[in-house]
């Protein structure tokens, strides 16, 4: 898989580490059913606090710089990690940034509306526009881009989560990185597990594995945003588009997406008991931070399935830590105590 023809902005520091969860594994003991757990640290990165959106932004902003853009606009929920990392990366690259944020989670307390990512959006210098939950944020972003272009600015608009086919290439590249690291570690990961929000992380990984001749169903996501049917259709569509961008002679298989909807709880951004347990367990046994909206729910799903005996003894599973730590401060009430 050759992605060198796509321009990339340097927002990452080379391969992110993979390591085994030894203390968590000792703690779980027999509940593990002999499975070996590993994490890939996509939550660490050199810009904006790190997180999975940096890999997508490398391609999105690489293209924007090639087009000599001076302004980027993106959209997201009030506590969007993608919006934070877009603002930080824009600051790093000397671009102006505007964010259209929707109140899609039913919360109006100050932790949610003013702390966590909301604090950082403005700290990184972005101009923030707040919209009601049901607003067509991308429509507003496009309208704003048109206005700014009328004033002579050169504007790029990125979709929610940066999950355009170009953005998804960031995770196709990550699939190649995982394959190389697995070879060095002499590990064959039975599953690569990720949260699914805007579907780009899963779609990019699945497209990348497929383009390298691997089974794309080795990637498993837990949806935390769309209901499972919708999430699967969106992930499949993005994987197809991403494969088409990598190599137009390839076609992504109709059954290439493995997705689980059982750990989303009542809806996007609404805490679950499984999320709380997963966040605490990882913090207390490994000193690692999951987030309340994405990785906490996905890791809860992984723990549930491992405990239920879904994997044979000896299987090695790789959980991709996607970041989102600022979200913990917006969910103080759900995380504190216990």
Ligand X SMILES: *Cc1c(COP(=O)(O)O)cnc(C)c1O
Give the footprint of ligand X on this chain (CB under 6 A).
51-52, 81-82, 161, 163, 195-201, 291, 294-295, 322-324
Contacts with 61 (C-beta within 8 Å, 6 or more apart), sequence order: 9, 11, 72, 89, 90, 93, 95
Least Cβ distance, residue 255 to ligand X (angstroms)? 20
CB closer to ligand X, 32 vs 88: 88
If the CB atoms of residues 80 and 181 are measured against ligand X, the closer one turns out to be 80
Q: Catalytic residue, from 20, 25, 80, 137: name it.
A: 80
3-state secondary structure 205-267: HHHHHHHCCCCHHHEEEEECCCCHHHHHHHHHHHHHHHHHHHCCCCCCCCCCCEEECCCCCCC
Residue 194, SS3 per DSSP: strand
Given the complex with ligand X, which of 196 and 272 has the nearer CB atom? Answer: 196
| 186 catalytic per annotation | no
DSSP β-bridge partners for residue 96: 71
Q: How far is the CB of 242 from ligand X (least distance, A)?
A: 12
Q: 51-82 burial, b if ≥16 CB within 10 A, otherwise e?
A: bbbbbbbbbbbbbbbeeebebbbbbbbbbbbb
In the complex, the smallest distance separating the C-beta of residue 275 from ligand X, rounded to whole angstroms, is 12
Q: Are 58 and 170 in contact (CB under 8 A)?
A: yes
Residue 87 beta carbon to ligand X: minimum distance, rounded to whole angstroms? 13
Tokens of 179: 């394959």
Least distance between ligand X and beta carbon 210 (Å): 17
Q: Do β-strands 71-77 and 155-158 pair in parallel, antiparallel, or remain unpaired?
A: parallel
What is the smallest separation between the CB atom of 215 and ligand X, expressed in angstroms? 20
Q: Closest residue (Cβ) to ligand X?
A: 324
Residues 118-149 as b or e (16 or more Cβ within 10 Å = b): bebbeebebeebebeeebebbebbeebbeebe
Closest to ligand X by CB, 62 or 200: 200
Q: Report the C-alpha gap between 190 and 218 in whole angstroms.
A: 6
Cβ nearer to ligand X, comparing 32 with 319:
319
SS3 272: coil
At 16, list the tokens.
Answer: 């992110």
Taking the complex as a whole, how short is the minimal distance between the CB of residue 85 and ligand X, in angstroms? 8
With 0-12 / 13-18 / 19 or more C-beta atoms within 10 angstroms meaning exposed / middle / buried, residue 102 is buried
Nearer of residues 102 and 322 to ligand X, judged by Cβ: 322
62 or 195: whose CB is closer to ligand X? Answer: 195
Active site residues: 80
């Amino acid at each position: 898989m050759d992605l060198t023809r796509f321009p990339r902005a340097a927002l990452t520091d080379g391969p992110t580490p993979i390591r085994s969860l030894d203390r968590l594994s000792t703690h779980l003991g027999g509940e593990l059913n002999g499975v070996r757990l590993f994490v890939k640290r996509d939550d660490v990165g050199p810009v904006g606090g790190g997180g999975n959106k940096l890999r997508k932004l490398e391609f999105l902003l690489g293209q924007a710089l090639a087009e000599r853009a001076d302004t980027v606009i993106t959209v997201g929920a009030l506590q969007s990690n993608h919006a934070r990392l877009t603002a930080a990366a824009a600051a790093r690259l000397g671009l102006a940034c505007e964010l259209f944020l929707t109140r899609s989670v039913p919360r109006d307390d100050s932790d949610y509306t003013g702390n966590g990512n909301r604090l950082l959006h403005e700290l990184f210098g972005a101009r923030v526009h707040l919209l009601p939950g049901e607003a067509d944020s991308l429509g507003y972003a496009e309208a704003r881009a048109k206005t700014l272009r009328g004033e002579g600015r050169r504007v790029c608009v990125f979709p929610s989560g940066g999950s355009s086919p170009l953005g998804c290439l960031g995770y196709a590249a990550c699939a190649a990185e995982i394959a190389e690291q697995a070879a060095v570690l002499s590990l064959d990961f039975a599953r690569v597990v990720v949260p699914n929000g805007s579907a780009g992380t899963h779609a990019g990984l699945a497209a990348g594995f497929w383009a390298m001749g691997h089974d794309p169903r080795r990637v498993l996501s837990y949806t935390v945003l769309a209901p499972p049917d919708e999430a699967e259709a969106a992930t499949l569509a993005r994987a197809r588009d991403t494969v088409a961008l990598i190599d137009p002679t390839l076609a992504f298989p109709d059954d290439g997406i493995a997705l689980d909807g059982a750990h989303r709880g009542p809806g996007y951004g609404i805490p679950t008991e499984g999320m709380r347990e997963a966040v605490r367990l990882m913090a207390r046994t490994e000193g690692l931070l999951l987030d309340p909206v994405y990785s906490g729910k996905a890791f809860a799903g992984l723990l549930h399935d491992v405990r239920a005996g879904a994997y044979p003894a000896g299987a090695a599973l790789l959980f991709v830590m996607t970041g989102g730590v600022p979200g913990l401060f917006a969910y103080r009430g759900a995380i504190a105590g216990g």
